[in-house]
Amino acid sequence: MKNIVVVGSQWGDEGKGKIVDWLSEQADVVIRFQGGHNAGHTLVINGVTYKLRLLPSGIVRKDKISIIGNGVVIDPWALIEEINEIKSKGVKVDIDNFIISEAANLILPFHKEMDEIREDTAGKSKIGTTRRGIGPAYEDKVGRRSIRVMDLRSEKNLDKRLDSVLIHHNAIRKGLGKKIFEKKKLKDDLLKIAPEILKFSQPVWLKIDEFKKKKKRILFEGAQGILLDVDHGTYPFVTSSNTVASSAATGSGCGPNTINYVLGITKAYTTRVGEGPFPTELQNEVGELLGTRGKEFGTVTSRKRRCGWFDGVLVRQTIKISGINGIALTKLDVLDELDEIKMCISYELNGKKIDYLPAAVEDQLKIKPVYKTFKGWKQKTNGIKNINELPEKAKDYIYAIEDFIGAKISSISTSPEREDTILIENPFEI
């Protein structure tokens, strides 16, 4: 049985939700392995829209097991709110189909406040976070002062852990002239919500080992995109976790040999939410058209996404970094009205041509894209399910992308509907 990792090959918002939903129908287990409730996956099933933030996309499918791995940071109140919200739409969420890693770290109210304080005081240097406390929670994890799911089992232990983390945060808050965060109410609130979280808690690494022995199909669901990876992205304008495919093993508790195939979700143009370098950004009417036709607003924050041409250099780079085997190309139909379409095939930096994104943010902000231009097909592709029915110019563009990035395009999405997909190869059946 194949186990598949799904990652975004750009800055996120590539349409992972739709692809993961399609794959989850064939999987037995779906695992979130990094990120927090800053991820937004929108699923449209039988006319019902589900907007998921923490819950794995498999939760909307019957007879699937959904798991939040140790690599995810969890806001317990946001999670319970999301569970109740999806239950109201008739979705089952109980201990038989939902598991939380006992080793997952918690996002607490002071993390959210710290996120907001930093963004508000950073001025032009702000990162453009979702202000949900994800970054500060990961900092506490690395600093070995975090509260984990397992800490909710013991009031005595929780009390000690809160003392440890608040010494750190209150020193910073005091230095910034902010009010000291009081422990008592937070402790009471955590003890109150603890039973609702702990009932789902299990050693996920052990469950994965059981699933492997039973030859279950496992789907690892990434959040954000590889260009937001804390090591390999456009640092410092990145998220606070590793978004690359190899993080699926670390963030869930299994060896890399568990992963058989990496699917990179890739938009037919490029978008980005928040601050940071964006070589192919279009601050003109074409960029506005892409945003309007593509409905480019964040699922979680509703922030308007920046839009630009497809950057082949970046996608080729993320394919190499994340070991991507195949590409699911999304939102092809958004390009239907354009007279011409461009693809970035190299950069210029200080008068020299380069074929990769440099690591230094100063260089990333200076590079200029070099484009190859394609004639637009000016025909409707929305809803097409067979590659032979696509306009010839659309196929020319698709094959040029495939050739340049050096990875096979395994599917092409022609609308937000799950059924409107041109399937070239099924990762589960290769």
Mean pLDDT confidence for 236-254: 96
First-to-final CA distance of the chain = 10
Catalytic residues: 13, 41
Residue 253 to residue 248: CA distance in whole angstroms: 8
Task: Enumerate residues 6+ apart whose C-beta is below 8 A from 413.
Answer: 15, 18, 19, 328, 329, 330, 331, 332, 420, 421, 422
260-314: per-residue pLDDT in tens? 999 999 999 999 988 899 999 999 999 999 999 998 986 666 678 999 999 999 9
Q: Looking at this protein, which amino acid is placed at residue 336?
A: D
Q: What residue has token string 């009932």?
A: 199
Instruction: Write out the two tokens for 393.
Output: 């110019």
* Number of other residues whose CB lies within 10 A of the CB of residue 400: 17
305-324: per-residue pLDDT in tens? 999 999 999 999 999 999 99
Axis-axis angle for helices 155-175, 183-198 (nearest 10): 130
**What pTM did the predictor assign?**
0.93
332-387: per-residue pLDDT in tens? 999 999 999 999 999 999 999 999 999 999 999 999 999 999 999 999 999 999 99
Residue 56 has a pLDDT of 93
Residue 416 has a pLDDT of 82
pLDDT above 90: percentage of residues in the chain: 81
Is the pLDDT confidence value at 128 over 70? no
Residue 1 has a pLDDT of 65
Mean pLDDT confidence for 130-155: 94
Closest alpha carbon to 222 in 241, 197, 200, 202: 241
51-88: per-residue pLDDT in tens? 888 999 889 988 999 999 999 999 999 999 999 999 99
Task: Enumerate residues 6+ apart whose C-beta is below 8 A from 127.
Answer: 119, 135, 236, 237, 238, 274, 275, 276
> Which 3-state string (H, E, C) describes the chain?
CCCEEEEECCCCCCCHHHHHHHHHCCCCEEEECCECCCCCEEEEECCEEEEECCCCHHHHCCCCEEEECCCEEECHHHHHHHHHHHHCCCCCCCCCCEEEECCCEECCHHHHHHHHHHHHHHHHHCCCCCCCCHHHHHHHHHCCCCCEHHHHHCHHHHHHHHHHHHHHHHHHHHHCCCCCCCHHHHHHHHHHHHHHHHCCEECHHHHHHHHHHCCCCEEEECCCCHHHCCCCCCCCCCCCCCCCCCHHHHCCCCCHHHCCEEEEEEECCEEECCCCCCCCECCCHHHHHHHHHCCCECCCCCCECEEECEEHHHHHHHHHHHCCCEEEEECHHHHCCCCEEEEEEEEEECCEEECCCCCCHHHHHHCEEEEEEEECCCCCCCCCCCHHHCCHHHHHHHHHHHHHHCCEEEEEECCCCCCCEEECCCHHHC
CA atoms within 13 A on the CB side of 148: 18
**Confidence bin at 39 (pLDDT 50/70/90):** low
- Phi/psi for 219 (5° steps) reads -115, 120
Residue 275 to residue 267: CA distance in whole angstroms: 19
Closest alpha carbon to 376 in 391, 363, 389: 391
